[in-house]
Structure 1
Amino acid sequence: MAEVRGVNTWQEELASLVEDTGMIYTGDMIGVSSLPPFNEAKSAAAAEVVESDHETEPQESLKEQVTGFMKSWCEMLLELGRGCIDIVQQTVVTEDSFLVQKLGGPVAKVSGRLRFLNEFLPEDRDPIHAWPVIFFVFILALSALKLNSGHDELVPPVKKVRAHPPNASRIQLPDGRHLAYREIGVPADKARFSLIAPHPFLSSRLAVIPGVKTSLLEEFGVRLVTYDLPGFGESDPHPSRNLNSSAFDMLHLADAVGVNDKFWVLGFSSGSMHAWAALRYVPHRISGAAMVAPMINPYEPSLTKEEMRSIWGEWLPRRKLMYYLARRLPKLLSFFYRRSFLSGKHGRIEKWMSLSLGRRDTVLTEGQTFEVFWHRDVEESIRQGNAKPFIEEAVLQVSNWGFSLADLQVQRRCYRSGIFPWLRSLYSQAECELAGFLGPIHIWGWMTKLFHQQ
């Protein structure tokens, strides 16, 4: 039977030697297709190891990195300092060096006398290392104190703006507004001369004539009336004021305080703008004008290039900027005003007004008398705390005044319009009359030459 079947295969022989387990071997590879390749298994294991490392070790924050960086730099600087000390000790502080030979004896003598100071040091501190540190800290503290004291001397304490109770005399104008004014000098019935003075920018009726005593006005029989411009001091604001309304405010004030005859107008700096307006719009009530350092419109069309160059060339860049903003972007002026005279704190006049003062003017403004006068005048000027009146005043300075200063000068005008006056002028003298302001105009300041050239 065995011969008929032939030789057994190796599978049958193996099965005869091993106990039957019930498993049948088919010859296929067991699970080869389901196992991953060796490289993929290795990379997956490495990824698991990296992920486990990241989970076990938290990341350093930026603060910790910066701290470590600074510590490393400090250690490097410390080692550098130690190296420099070693170099100095090996080259400069040796017994054969020139410095030790020349200064060794005196230094040893001084250190011997000051050796008792070592008793104040801790026992674990080496005097050679402790005293240089103490000396360095002492010099540093002395420098800081010196710098602080110098800063206190250069920057005086800033004074705050104080509020004062209203105490001005006021009149009511025809349009219902109230105008605050002040009188000094002789009474109305004894006055030989009546003066009305509009105040300049950032001022009030309290300015009067700086430096002029009341006794001097009484001696010459002068009655001086000053008033607050609309929106300044205790005067009501004017919603649409111009130089024409300013001139008639002055006229109504003169009538209200009993100035029945002609009066003089007195103008300081930018306040002369309102004096010019009085000469132009109410000349029949003006006896004359006195101008002290008067201003004119820097954009006056009749000015030549040389005249404009002489005017703009003397101003500081900040003042030029203020005039430019007043003409082009007046709303931005409030930003600057709120950070200067409307900030609630006092300041220097040359800073707020963008002035370049000479030596004498600087000495004058630094005096206690002027400081008291200036602070009180500013406090009254900004009483209402509104930037709009100041913006209106700045815009008036650079806008069209409605007249030219050349119109105020005396000039002969002959009327020859039409055919009949022209024919009459051929046989007889033409009818002419004097035009402009016929009264005297006294000017003190740089504008004297300019005005006479107009």
Structure 2
Amino acid sequence: MSTSFQVLSGVPRCQLILLVSLAGGITKRLPRLAVVLLVALVYRQLQAPPPKIPGTPGGPPVTSPRIKLQDGRHLAYYESGVPKDQSKYKIIFVHGFDSCRYDVLRVSPELAQELGIYVLSFDRPGYGESDPHPGRTEKSIAFDIEQLADALELGPKFYLTGFSMGGEIMWSCLKYIPNRLAGVAILGPVGNYWWSGFPANVSLEAWNVQVPQDKWAVGVAHHAPWLTYWWNTQKLFPASSVISFNPAILSREDMAIIPMFAYRTYAHQARQQGEHESLHRDMMVGFGKWSWSPLELEDPFPGGEGKVHLWHGAEDLIVPVQLSRYISERLPWVRYHELPTAGHLFPIADGMADVIFKSLLLGDDE
């Protein structure tokens, strides 16, 4: 019997109890060994395959420059704008969900030259050609960014811009590395419905903007993260609408922007290490149980030496605007820009990157 139970070694106790209880109702007449094997089979179905690590046998090739972090992991990066040594402004861009280093905010060559803008983007852990980080949290990514800035010699302070899930990461950077920041632009940031400080009516209003399948997918990622892989790969219920490309989440302006995605010939790189290590783990962290809330943050620039800009489309059906509205009301040091007809993809619209960068760097309010 001890050999049989070795099949379940490493199973978290809460998961094991749940699986056994579920199996128990239909296996009362089966031998004990059969029950153990059945539970083991079910548990195996819940486990994600190991990630395909870049540069290893069976993994994707490494084609971009990378830096090595203190814990041995690598981050792949991409540089755009003017050469770093000729730049006046150095900006790190953090990509969103199901994206990679090439999905950088595309400043026009004219503005880049005029202002001297250098932009550094990178693959977040588990995406593209950056090593996975199974232990990543909302805190760890901030220090990854700090190490990236130091490795590329960006100086004591740099600007940050993040979109969607990358926008949510901006709050972590404001909490953990505020002394390194010269200014921050937060674009259509994902919000965690369980952050403390939100009135129930605000969270509920935002929650109900989601399509039903996302309520389930997000709820699973928060309440039962160990089920996230299974939920988004099983065929009984619809998975996350973003993962499954459900057009119902696109606003009218988003639909007009979608043809611009034809240039994303590199799109496959976002998921090349496996959907669990990139997409599912993103959900588990982004919608997980945070020990703090952005609503608790203090002004990182009390002397006015920098600004935090928050942009959101009022017609965003992917990331409801209500949470951003409330955060901007509670944090008076955040400069809020709400675009009345825009959806989630507004940063990709023609000319919008220039508007965002000018606002961040020059204080131009559009």
- TM-score, shorter chain, exceeding 0.5: yes
Higher mean C-alpha displacement, 354-363 vs 276-285: 354-363
Give 1:212 deviation, angstroms.
3.6
In the alignment, the residues of structure 2 paired with residue 339 and residue 372 of structure 1 have an alpha-carbon distance, to the nearest angstrom, of 31
- Higher relative contact order (Cα pairs below 8 Å, separated by 6+ residues): 2
Please give the residue correspondences for 1:27-426 in structure 2 after superposition, counting only pairs within 5 Å: 165-209=61-105, 212-338=107-233, 351-352=244-245, 356-365=249-258, 367=259, 369-373=260-264, 376-377=266-267, 379-410=268-299
Paired residue for 1:44? none
Given candidates 285, 289, 311, the residue that maps to 1:444 is 311
Give 1:436 deviation, angstroms.
11
Query: How high is the TM-score relative to the length of structure 1?
Result: 0.52
In the alignment, the residues of structure 2 paired with residue 338 and residue 168 of structure 1 have an alpha-carbon distance, to the nearest angstrom, of 30
- In structure 2, the residue corresponding to 1:444 is in which secondary structure? strand
2:270 and 2:278 in contact (8 A); partners too:
no
Give 1:216 deviation, angstroms.
3.1
Aligned identity (percent) is 31
User: Is the alpha carbon distance of 1:350 and 1:360 closer, same or farther for their aligned partners in structure 2, counting shifts above 3 Å?
Assistant: farther
Give 1:287 deviation, angstroms.
0.9
Query: How high is the TM-score relative to the length of structure 2?
Result: 0.64
1:319 and 1:353 in contact (8 A); partners too:
no
User: Is the alpha carbon distance of 1:349 and 1:322 closer, same or farther for their aligned partners in structure 2, counting shifts above 3 Å?
Assistant: closer
In the alignment, the residues of structure 2 paired with residue 437 and residue 232 of structure 1 have an alpha-carbon distance, to the nearest angstrom, of 35
User: Is the alpha carbon distance of 1:248 and 1:437 closer, same or farther for their aligned partners in structure 2, counting shifts above 3 Å?
Assistant: farther
Letter in 1 for 2:257: L
In the alignment, the residues of structure 2 paired with residue 349 and residue 239 of structure 1 have an alpha-carbon distance, to the nearest angstrom, of 22
Q: Deviations over 1:336-381 (max 9, x none)?
A: 54479xxxxxxx968437762222221321x2x42332x523x111
Letter in 1 for 2:282: E
In the alignment, the residues of structure 1 paired with residue 228 and residue 303 of structure 2 have an alpha-carbon distance, to the nearest angstrom, of 35
In the alignment, the residues of structure 2 paired with residue 352 and residue 261 of structure 1 have an alpha-carbon distance, to the nearest angstrom, of 40
In the alignment, the residues of structure 2 paired with residue 287 and residue 202 of structure 1 have an alpha-carbon distance, to the nearest angstrom, of 28
2:186 and 2:310 in contact (8 A); partners too:
yes
Gapped regions of structure 1 (runs ≥ 5): 1-162, 341-347, 412-433
Q: Deviations over 1:59-111 (max 9, x none)?
A: xxxxxxxxxxxxxxxxxxxxxxxxxxxxxxxxxxxxxxxxxxxxxxxxxxxxx
Give 1:386 deviation, angstroms.
4.9
- In structure 2, the residue corresponding to 1:352 is in which secondary structure? coil
Q: Deviations over 1:135-182 (max 9, x none)?
A: xxxxxxxxxxxxxxxxxxxxxxxxxxxx98532110011111111111
Q: Deviations over 1:182-202 (max 9, x none)?
A: 110112222111111121111
- In structure 2, the residue corresponding to 1:205 is in which secondary structure? coil
Q: CA RMSD in A?
A: 2.8
In the alignment, the residues of structure 2 paired with residue 200 and residue 252 of structure 1 have an alpha-carbon distance, to the nearest angstrom, of 20
In the alignment, the residues of structure 2 paired with residue 187 and residue 202 of structure 1 have an alpha-carbon distance, to the nearest angstrom, of 28
User: Is the alpha carbon distance of 1:336 and 1:438 closer, same or farther for their aligned partners in structure 2, counting shifts above 3 Å?
Assistant: farther
In the alignment, the residues of structure 2 paired with residue 409 and residue 224 of structure 1 have an alpha-carbon distance, to the nearest angstrom, of 27
In the alignment, the residues of structure 1 paired with residue 113 and residue 253 of structure 2 have an alpha-carbon distance, to the nearest angstrom, of 29
User: Is the alpha carbon distance of 1:251 and 1:288 closer, same or farther for their aligned partners in structure 2, counting shifts above 3 Å?
Assistant: same
Give 1:402 deviation, angstroms.
3.1
- In structure 1, the residue corresponding to 2:184 is in which secondary structure? strand
User: Is the alpha carbon distance of 1:437 and 1:397 closer, same or farther for their aligned partners in structure 2, counting shifts above 3 Å?
Assistant: farther
- In structure 2, the residue corresponding to 1:308 is in which secondary structure? helix
1:184 and 1:214 in contact (8 A); partners too:
no
In the alignment, the residues of structure 1 paired with residue 146 and residue 248 of structure 2 have an alpha-carbon distance, to the nearest angstrom, of 32
User: Is the alpha carbon distance of 1:196 and 1:318 closer, same or farther for their aligned partners in structure 2, counting shifts above 3 Å?
Assistant: same
Letter in 2 for 1:359: R
In the alignment, the residues of structure 2 paired with residue 332 and residue 355 of structure 1 have an alpha-carbon distance, to the nearest angstrom, of 25
User: Is the alpha carbon distance of 1:339 and 1:371 closer, same or farther for their aligned partners in structure 2, counting shifts above 3 Å?
Assistant: farther
Task: State how many pairs are aligned.
Answer: 258
In the alignment, the residues of structure 2 paired with residue 196 and residue 288 of structure 1 have an alpha-carbon distance, to the nearest angstrom, of 11
In the alignment, the residues of structure 2 paired with residue 293 and residue 438 of structure 1 have an alpha-carbon distance, to the nearest angstrom, of 24
User: Is the alpha carbon distance of 1:260 and 1:269 closer, same or farther for their aligned partners in structure 2, counting shifts above 3 Å?
Assistant: same
User: Is the alpha carbon distance of 1:245 and 1:355 closer, same or farther for their aligned partners in structure 2, counting shifts above 3 Å?
Assistant: farther
- In structure 1, the residue corresponding to 2:139 is in which secondary structure? helix
User: Is the alpha carbon distance of 1:401 and 1:331 closer, same or farther for their aligned partners in structure 2, counting shifts above 3 Å?
Assistant: closer
Paired residue for 2:37? none
